[in-house]
Amino acid sequence: MTGTPNVACVEIGGIPIALSTSDDGFLDLLRQRYGGFLSSSRPEFELEFDLTSSAPVSADDVRVYRETNNTNTDDEWIFERGDFRAHWDPRTGRGRVRQNSNPYSLDSVLRILHSLILAERGGFLLHAASAICDGRAFLFAGVSGAGKTTMTRLAPSEITLLTDEISYLRPSPKDGGYSAFGTPFAGELAKSGENCAAPVSALFFLEQGPENRIQELSSAGAVRRLMRNILFFAEDRVLVEKLFATAYDFVDTVPVRRLTFYPDTGVWDLVRKFDPNFEGNSGRDFERHFEGVPEHA
């Protein structure tokens, strides 16, 4: 049933966004999907949804670009894939989305919008699981199959899951580091993260192996791996340059390591004891090679 536009404010990463629709069923869907992230805060941004019955979820590549090709950084953004098309005006903070009622399309649109907002604010979305342990957030990144969901499944019960798929990172002016926030964007675990945040203590790039071991990475190796795991869609050189600057700052600020792990609960003991001030230098990774391996963010 449809009628007057109804609004739900969804606050992810401390950024409240009003989502409005005149379709009651869609409003119910998004209230359920983002239940832990509904907010009464005053929205910073607004997205209005027009639903269409066509356009099933598409495997096409997403495109995110400014509508005009000049250098005006206030131009309207277009997000488009086979199953949605959105306009977003950064000057007014308002946008309009045309999509079907599929929640995966909605997730994609929200992730794109957050990635743009974060890029301007020195943060980013990372293809990584994250969890809070003893007041500290740990991130576990890697390609599909590297073990992100496995790490969350192995976590002790007192661990707070922020996400098993898409981590949300923002600079934290208070301590000069970064904070990780929970997200509703679930992976294989099919479970929303908790709506809370903590200072990031370490980022681990996962590899499965015969034993649990933490190894250092060179700065270049860390930036390279980080860049390959950041979710970024915008066709915009200025934002890409900002993203590079953010990635360098993150690697400068946050310990980034390689975590080889054998899938048992012992790996969490190693993580909990991790202290960058008391670790050996063995296993430093000095990879140097030309890699012509394009990866779509």
Partner 1 sequence: MPESCTYIARSSAIAARALAGEMMVMNSADSTFFTLNEVATAIFQAADGHTPLREIVRDRICPQFDVDPEQAQTDAEQFVAELSGHGILLVSNEPLSAETNRETSR
Per-residue contact string for residues 249-288; x = within reach of partner 1 by CB under 8 A = ---------------------------------------x
Q: What is the DSSP string of 66-93?
A: ESS-SS-TTSPEEEEETTEEEEEETTTT
**Which CB atom, from 91 or from 237, has the smaller least distance to partner 1?**
237
Residue with tokens 């898409």: 166
Q: Which of 259, 255, 260 is nearest to 275 (CA)?
A: 255
Does 27 interact with partner 1 (rule: CB under 8 A)?
A: no
Alpha helices in 124-262 (DSSP H): 148-154, 219-229, 237-253
Q: Which of 73, 90, 123 is nearest to 236 (CA)?
A: 73
What is the distance between the alpha carbons of residues 271 and 266, in angstroms, rounded to a whole number? 9
Beta-ladder partners of 94: 46, 89
Does 292 interact with partner 1 (rule: CB under 8 A)?
A: yes
Does 135 interact with partner 1 (rule: CB under 8 A)?
A: no
User: β-strand 63-66 against 77-81: which pairing, if any?
Assistant: antiparallel
Binding residues for partner 1, rule CB under 8 A, total 29
- Number of Cβ within 10 Å of residue 65's Cβ equals 15
- Backbone φ and ψ for 2, nearest 5 degrees, come out as -120, 165
Does 208 interact with partner 1 (rule: CB under 8 A)?
A: no
Does 122 interact with partner 1 (rule: CB under 8 A)?
A: no
**Which CB atom, from 211 or from 241, has the smaller least distance to partner 1?**
241
Options 207, 224, 253, 270; binder of partner 1; rule CB under 8 A: 224
Options 45, 168, 185, 233; binder of partner 1; rule CB under 8 A: 233
- Backbone φ and ψ for 141, nearest 5 degrees, come out as -110, 160
**Which CB atom, from 42 or from 296, has the smaller least distance to partner 1?**
296
**Which CB atom, from 197 or from 226, has the smaller least distance to partner 1?**
226
Does 125 interact with partner 1 (rule: CB under 8 A)?
A: no
Structure tokens at 171: 């600079």
Does 7 interact with partner 1 (rule: CB under 8 A)?
A: no
Does 133 interact with partner 1 (rule: CB under 8 A)?
A: no
Options 190, 237, 277, 280; binder of partner 1; rule CB under 8 A: 237
Name the residues that contact partner 1, by CB under 8 A: 218-220, 223-224, 227-228, 232-237, 239-241, 243-244, 248, 288-297
